[in-house]
Amino acid sequence: MAKNVITAVINGQTITAEPGTTIMEAARAGGIHIPSLCYHPALESSGACRVCLVEAENSPKLLPSCTTPLAEGMVVFTHSPRALAARKAVVEMLLIRHPLDCFSCESNGRCELQDLAYELGIESSPFREEGDVATEHELDDTNPFFVRDMNKCILCGRCVRACDWQSGYHAIDFQNRGIHTTINPPIGKKLEESDCVFCGQCIQACPVGALVEKKARGQGRSWETKTVRTTCPYCGVGCQLDLHIKGDQITRVTGTPEGMPNRGRLCVKGRFGYDFIYSEERLTHPLIRERKGEFRSPEDTFRKASWDEALDLVASRLKEVMRTYGRNSVGGVSCARSLNEDSYSMQKLFRFAFRNHNIDHCARV
């Protein structure tokens, strides 16, 4: 056995892992499921929800598996009666104030709290008193991109960590204390007045229905949509997107978790700016200008053309200009929405085919 490998037993299964690997990471790598609400593979673990508690031999207390490193010779039970009882109690506590409106919730079918309640056989909280109304907070739909329903927030902190560690901002944090704790911008500020850039990373990290894209509301359930991976068209970085599609309509956009180079991160344009594809003014085929006179005028018209005809026309005009005025008479500007590979091809076209260096990029200035 290699020196830098730890051997332990989880649910009777021998597990090997590198030093520093947590119990949860080692278990999931070995195909053993440990539920959690605050844990996210792209975020640093905080051990906030206590749903991932497990039992270990010779340990007097249950251990949070998302923050406890696996130790040599450790024997762990993820679903012992003691661990399940603690896990069930945590979820029942969360459901004291959490609305039980799963039928109409936008996150129905992709809610981690709903999945966990189903797994544990919980239908409602025994601590919930008759007449309790879980609508302490008003629905916040003041910003144009997403809706915040703090009644459904379980205070897992994933949105706070996503904003801080993934997006590099600290626009939101825990406010107040005890049962009055909420996640909000700095006290006295609205979200629009904070450091928030509306990238929506908090939405993607949220395990419940506390944060929902406005454009996704009523557009389709998770089981009605299919996921198609593509590349963001807004700049040359090449961020990977997952388009959630119902029929031929995009219902929402998320960052591809394992996609490079963004690793699940997106900016406000990449996540919310996809409406342009449905614009009636969008060009869907090449157009060739039909001039009414020697020079351009408002009376000119455009006719549809094939790609071959359009490209042949461009090539012939460029050759004509260079024959008349020389090779330095033409130049090109690469678009910032193009991929880096496209910009490379553009400069290569001018330097090798046109034999000049008249090439620039619109993002340079």
Gap between the Cα atoms of 171 and 271, Å rounded: 18
Inter-residue contact 70 to 26 (CB < 8 Å): yes
Mean pLDDT of 328-339: 87
CATH number of 106-217: 3.30.70.20
Looking at residue 126, its pLDDT comes to 87
| Phi-psi group of 211: left, alpha or beta (phi > 0 → left; psi -120 to 50 → alpha; rest → beta) | beta
CATH number of 226-282: 2.20.25.90
CA distances, 334 to each of 96, 151, 269, 350 (Å): 57, 48, 20, 11
Looking at residue 365, its pLDDT comes to 55
Mean pLDDT of the chain: 91
Inter-residue contact 23 to 33 (CB < 8 Å): no
Looking at residue 1, its pLDDT comes to 47
Looking at residue 4, its pLDDT comes to 84
CA distances, 333 to each of 189, 233, 321, 363 (Å): 43, 17, 17, 10
Gap between the Cα atoms of 25 and 36, Å rounded: 12
Mean pLDDT of 216-225: 93
Instruction: Give 38's DSSP letter.
Output: S
Looking at residue 59, its pLDDT comes to 93
| Tens digit of each residue's pLDDT (9 = 90 or more) over 126-156 | 887 766 655 678 888 888 899 999 999 999 9
| Tens digit of each residue's pLDDT (9 = 90 or more) over 294-305 | 888 888 999 999
Which residues, including other chains, have CB under 8 Å from residue 312's CB and lie 6 or more apart?
none
Looking at residue 216, its pLDDT comes to 93
Mean pLDDT of 215-229: 94
Residue of higher predicted confidence among 276 and 337: 276
| Tens digit of each residue's pLDDT (9 = 90 or more) over 94-132 | 998 898 889 999 999 999 999 999 999 998 888 877 666
The residues with which 147 forms a beta bridge, in sequence order, are 212
The amino acid present at 150, given as its one-letter code, is M
Looking at residue 208, its pLDDT comes to 96
Q: Which H or E run includes 348?
A: helix 340-348
Measure CA 61 to chain center: 35
3-state helix, strand, coil in the chain (%, to 5): 30, 20, 55
Looking at residue 180, its pLDDT comes to 85
Closest CA to 116 of 204, 207, 179: 207
pTM of the model: 0.83
Is the bond into 261 cis (omega within 30 degrees of 0)? yes
Looking at residue 133, its pLDDT comes to 57
Which residues, including other chains, have CB under 8 Å from residue 314's CB and lie 6 or more apart?
none
Helix (H, G, I), strand (E, B) or coil at 55: strand
- The residues spanned by each domain of the chain are 6-94, 106-217, 226-282, 286-321, 326-365
Residue 262: half-sphere exposure toward Cβ, Cα within 13 Å: 24
320 — pLDDT class (breaks 50, 70, 90): very high
The residues with which 17 forms a beta bridge, in sequence order, are 6
Count the Cβ atoms, other than its own, within 10 Å of residue 158.
Answer: 28
Gap between the Cα atoms of 100 and 302, Å rounded: 57
Q: What angle do CA 243, 244, 249 make, to 5 degrees?
A: 95
Measure CA 280 to chain center: 28
Q: Which H or E run includes 320?
A: helix 307-325
The CATH architecture annotation of domain 6-94 reads Roll (3.10)
Gap between the Cα atoms of 244 and 203, Å rounded: 15
63-64/53-56 β-pairing: antiparallel
Residue carrying the six token digits 């997952």: 242
